[in-house]
Copies of this chain bind each other. A is one copy, B any other.
Amino acid sequence: MSSYREAGVDIDAGEALVQRIKPWCAETRTEGVLGGIGLFGGFFRASFPELQDPVLVSSVDGVGTKLRVAREAGIHHTVGQDLVNHCVDDILACGARPLFFLDYFATGRLEVDVAAEVIRGFTIACRENGCALLGGETAEMPGFYAPGDYDMSGTIVGVVDRTRMVDGTHIQPGDALLALPSSGLHTNGYSLARRALFDMAGLDLDHRLDEGRRLGDALLAVHRSYLHPVQALLAEVEVRGISHITGGGILGNTRRILPAGTTLALDRQAWAWPEIFHLIQRCGQVPDPEMDRAFNLGIGLVLVLDPQDVDRAEALLRARGESPLRIGQVVKA
């Protein structure tokens, strides 16, 4: 006799997980959410009376092989936060605020404790960003993932008034680049980082950085959400473009929003790479152009501003505890 459980799928474990996470998910509930948990879809009221012409903005992402570091460290809630914050920053780059988030969690054999920690991370970050966790799927796929491995993706839906959409179309030569620091690698470049640090240099997660932190802690630092400072800025200053620095690096991502005929002049003296990036470069003998393409190098978000607005924007961000950096300008291509 054969059963689903013998075939590697444990419906009871899935049910135990649902019961464990239910109260956390309920805590992410916002006023837009309608109905309960457990229906075939999540309901969110599409009424935005404060907006003239509401536009939904949506994005999907994963956290890549940072998951392997989480597994090795046995710490699973931070990658959950990473995923939500990554998604929040993606739609923030369009000027949008988050409404709701849905997750997909897939593993070979469902370990309820691990999955619950990941999902607890989703709910922590959802609460911080005022975003409802509206739905999720947990997939147990025997043979698809190595023991202890899992993958996940997240999808976010937010909203912005059409007149306040940020899409780079008004960027012009002379515009200033004001950057907000990252907290570390965020969610990009981990395959290269792991190869350099672990495979090539033989370091381990307990290796102490000069700055004092353990390497494992530096690598698992949570991807920052820039929602609150940038929303405050958007309310006061015209922001012509926002670039979320993910795979492709500062140049690759910021070029995505530039109008034809323009390019970037980065002032590379304007900031120092955090130690972790120097360590990766040294351990892996990674050439500069490759570092540029794979990593954020300490810059998490780039704001493109009319040069006349930079002082005010900088003051506003400093007042919120941020440390903005003037890292260059837009120039004619």
Contact = CB atoms under 8 A, between A and B. Distances in A.
A326 interface: no
A41 B58 contact: yes
A64 interface: yes
B167 A100 contact: no
A274 interface: no
So how many copies of this chain end up in the complex?
Answer: 2
A248 B34 CA distance: 24
Given A106-B151, A153-B106, A200-B2, A57 B42 contact: yes
Contacts of A248: 11
30 contacts: A1-B287, A2-B192, A2-B195, A2-B196, A3-B286, A3-B287, A4-B293, A7-B194, A8-B195, A34-B55, A34-B162, A39-B93, A39-B167, A39-B256, A40-B91, A40-B94, A44-B55, A44-B57, A46-B55, A46-B159, A60-B104, A61-B104, A62-B137, A64-B141, A65-B141, A65-B144, A104-B153, A104-B155, A106-B151, A140-B191
Given A1-B287, A58-B135, A65-B141, 15 more contacts: A1-B284, A2-B200, A2-B284, A4-B293, A7-B195, A9-B192, A11-B248, A39-B93, A40-B90, A40-B91, A58-B100, A60-B104, A64-B139, A104-B155, A145-B145
